[in-house]
Amino acid sequence: MEVNGKVAVVTGGANGIGRAICEKLSEAGAKVAVADIDESAAASTADLVGGMWRRVDVSVESDVMALVADSEDELGPVDLFFANAGIAMEGDPWTSDGEWQRIWETNTMSHVYTARAVLPGMLERGSGYLVHTSSAAGLLNQLGSAPYAVTKHAVVAFAEWLSITYGDRGLKVSVIAPQAVRTAMTDALVAGPQSVAAIDGMMEPDEVADIVLEGVRAERFLILPHQEVAEYIVRKATDYDRWLAGMRRLQARLSEENPVP
């Protein structure tokens, strides 16, 4: 899909990857709606790209519905929706139910709410594009964070289902799955003793945004800013037990190199 002249909504658009995507979309001629829970940063990004902004908590369905309605009232029918907002945390089976629920609603249910909000119009028009930000953790895993790994896997599964179910009715779907990107959110996952995310290098948001727009133009389902991830997926699928053993070795090595004080 060529983005020039299209209406694009970006959640988590105030900072990091989202802000960079907003900038690249605007440069390419799209009309941009910036959504974020950070009001001042959202307004700043909107001013930069000449777009509109709304304060949105993506874990609240009514906020997502209102965002789409406001965007269509102000800019026109939504052609592209970048479901980019997300949070990160460390965690395991003993992480509190409240924290598990918080990351589930933000990282996974927000994508469901997005689909509910935009699919009727897109399917009626016979065209539309959903771009879901997952993570390499959604294809592989995330050492030190069961909640993050689980919710990002769910994003990939939901996006696959949307593409399978509606791809022949004009809906395009992509999943962005980077490893470490230099953002405030990533700091929560790469600063600890099991910081596997940065093992293949830290990318800048602008670099990721360029790759994302190229992937959207090519209508690729899986957009991998870190190309190494493609090789890791093959290894995982080829010999699951060997891959799991390798991940355990990596976890042990990182723990030895970065002991907890």
**Residues catalogued as catalytic:** 148
How open is the CA angle 63-224-103, to the nearest 5 degrees? 35
Pairing of strands 52-55, 7-11: unpaired
Q: What is the rounded CA–CA span in Å between residue 131 and residue 36? A: 16
Q: Mutual orientation of helices 110-125 and 146-166 as an angle, nearest 10°?
A: 10
Residues 6+ away with beta carbon under 8 Å from 73 = none
Q: Which residues of 69-95 are buried (b: 16+ CB within 10 A; e: fewer)?
A: ebbbeebebbbbbbbbbbbbbbbeeeb
